[in-house]
Amino acid sequence: MAAATSTGKSPARAAREAGVIGSGGAGFPAHVKLEKPVDTVIANGAECEPLLYGDQWLMEARAAEVIAGLKLILDDFESRGGKPVRGVVAVKEKYTAARAALESAASGDGRISLLPLPNVYPSGDEHFLTYEATGRIVPEGGIPPMAGALVHNVGTLSQIAQAARGEPVTGRVMTLGGAVENPMIAEIPTGTPLSHLVAAMRPKVDDYVLLVNGPMMGRIADDPEESTTKTMGGLFVLPMRHPHVMRMRRPLSTEMRISRAACEACRFCTDFCPRALLGHALEPHKIVRVINYDKTDHATVTSSWLCCECGVCDLWACPMALSPRVIYRAFKKKLKEAGIKNPHARNGLTAEYYRPFRGVPVERLVARLGLAEFERRPPVGEIAAPEKVVLRLDQSVGVPAEPCVSKGSRVNQGDLVADIPKGKLGARVHASIEGTVTDITGRTIVIQR
């Protein structure tokens, strides 16, 4: 029997009804991750992506809610699994205020402990955290539950606590920064047009691009009318000619061409790859060799499935500024199109001896990216709610949500506007502002205030 929340629902049911998805990654529906009990639940407060500060603030300001979400899961897993379950709050050692707040919120619950993390990238990777918290390595191509662990971002845990009170997800904390006069940490309604945020941020440069979710694993948003989603944790204005922007915009054909010409086979990319350091069969120097010399090396080509696209190989390790990551990404796309699944699934792996010495120091990483001038914590601010929100129906992993309102419907903030198709993987979508539904397309629902 599942432990119930204050609304009488299990955490999984409450999260499903509230539309909670992983707020720190690809957006996997939280309720699915809550179905099967594991022995360790990890609260991911690493926030290792440079320039982001939202989670750090959230852990300070809403520590009680983060811990409440964690406890709900521990109670539920213990009551269903019949065994004790550990809660581990993984947070950077240098976040002293967040650690103090979390420690105080968790005091008296012997199941929960804090795991101080070094200030290295990518300490927020699920595989990294699982190993640090349990000493177990997630199998190749696997997910943490295969090693008995569940990893939830601290923002997701806070949303699970809200869901347990019957409050759906209608917004999230974002970091807004870069070359702007008014950087801030703010709560932003889901579906807010990026142009609305940029106007409030007041760019200091005329020619700029918009970087979403950070410089390592983020992307450049080409359309300023794109809207925020439940997985968007940061928006940064960067000068158009900034070297990192130019690097991010380098086309695949250029990556391939310079890789052919410049790879010196030093294998630094492999030596620093966080997944390779956990024993996974991932050797980025070989993927570069494959495109240069040996297209029949199927094991290397299919190892593309094991790459989490963290960017360590290209943005930190490679002395020639080549990008095995981009090549892996291209191969992954081709494998997917060809219906070729991941054949790599080794378990019982051993971490490399050198792993503890090869974390990437975030401060030096930021300096290398040329972003040191933007790496400072902004104040907490507020942005006027937008007149219009554009809610994407495909914000989570799985199939898009199905609209359950019509054009012209009046909605209040928090009303359900799109549901999970029966029997499918996906997440609900709720109105993030009060207003009228003015448009419904195959991909979005527009609400005008």
Q: How far apart, in whole angstroms, are the C-alpha atoms of residue 390 and residue 226?
A: 8
301 vs 390, beta carbon nearer ligand SF4 = 301
Q: How far apart, in whole angstroms, are the C-alpha atoms of residue 220 and residue 247?
A: 11
Asked if residue 311 binds ligand SF4 (CB under 6 A), the reply is: yes
Asked if residue 281 binds ligand SF4 (CB under 6 A), the reply is: no
- Shortest Cβ distance from residue 54 to ligand SF4 (Å)? 23
- The closest of 77, 68, 82, 67 to 2, measured between CA atoms, is 77
Token look-up 């807010």 returns 192
- Among residues 266, 299, 372, 380, which is the contact residue for ligand SF4, using CB under 6 A? 266
Asked if residue 317 binds ligand SF4 (CB under 6 A), the reply is: yes
- Among residues 309, 352, 375, 419, which is the contact residue for ligand SF4, using CB under 6 A? 309
72 vs 273, beta carbon nearer ligand SF4 = 273
The secondary structure of 7-34 as a DSSP string is: TS--HHHHHHHHT-B-SSSS--BHHHHT
129 vs 401, beta carbon nearer ligand SF4 = 129
- Shortest Cβ distance from residue 262 to ligand SF4 (Å)? 7
Asked if residue 261 binds ligand SF4 (CB under 6 A), the reply is: no
- Among residues 310, 360, 429, 431, which is the contact residue for ligand SF4, using CB under 6 A? 310
Cis peptide before 50 (omega within 30 of 0): no
Q: How far apart, in whole angstroms, are the C-alpha atoms of residue 131 and residue 267?
A: 24
Q: What share of the chain is helix, strand, coil (3-state, %, to 5)?
A: 35, 20, 45
- Shortest Cβ distance from residue 265 to ligand SF4 (Å)? 5
Radius of gyration of the chain (CA): 22
- Among residues 62, 92, 275, 332, which is the contact residue for ligand SF4, using CB under 6 A? 275
- The closest of 306, 301, 258 to 282, measured between CA atoms, is 306
- Among residues 136, 182, 268, 358, which is the contact residue for ligand SF4, using CB under 6 A? 268
- The closest of 106, 118, 121 to 41, measured between CA atoms, is 106
- Among residues 163, 180, 312, 446, which is the contact residue for ligand SF4, using CB under 6 A? 312
Asked if residue 117 binds ligand SF4 (CB under 6 A), the reply is: no
Half-sphere exposure of 207 (CA within 13 A, CB side): 4
Q: How far apart, in whole angstroms, are the C-alpha atoms of residue 193 and residue 178?
A: 18
Asked if residue 301 binds ligand SF4 (CB under 6 A), the reply is: no
Strands (E), 156-255: 171-178, 184-189, 208-212, 219-221, 234-239
CA distances from 105 to 64, 109, 255 (A): 5, 9, 48
- Among residues 97, 246, 252, 265, which is the contact residue for ligand SF4, using CB under 6 A? 265
Asked if residue 360 binds ligand SF4 (CB under 6 A), the reply is: no
Contact yes or no for 177/234 (Cβ under 8 A) = yes
- Among residues 211, 256, 322, 446, which is the contact residue for ligand SF4, using CB under 6 A? 322
- Shortest Cβ distance from residue 280 to ligand SF4 (Å)? 8
- Shortest Cβ distance from residue 202 to ligand SF4 (Å)? 34
- Shortest Cβ distance from residue 147 to ligand SF4 (Å)? 18
Asked if residue 291 binds ligand SF4 (CB under 6 A), the reply is: no
Go through the chain and tell me how many residues it has.
449
Asked if residue 285 binds ligand SF4 (CB under 6 A), the reply is: yes
- Shortest Cβ distance from residue 396 to ligand SF4 (Å)? 23
The CA dihedral of 112, 117, 122, 127, to the nearest 10 degrees, is: -40
Q: In what order do the strands lie in the sheet with 149-153?
A: 112-117, 86-92, 40-45, 149-153
CA distances from 417 to 170, 404, 446 (A): 11, 5, 10
- Shortest Cβ distance from residue 154 to ligand SF4 (Å)? 23
Q: Which stretch binds ligand SF4 (CB under 6 A): 10-18, 62-70, 161-169, 284-292?
A: 284-292
Asked if residue 284 binds ligand SF4 (CB under 6 A), the reply is: yes
Asked if residue 288 binds ligand SF4 (CB under 6 A), the reply is: yes
- Residue 71 one-letter amino acid: K
Asked if residue 325 binds ligand SF4 (CB under 6 A), the reply is: yes
- Shortest Cβ distance from residue 68 to ligand SF4 (Å)? 34
Tell me which residues touch ligand SF4 (CB under 6 A).
Answer: 263-269, 273, 275, 282, 284-285, 288, 307-313, 317-318, 320, 322, 324-325, 328
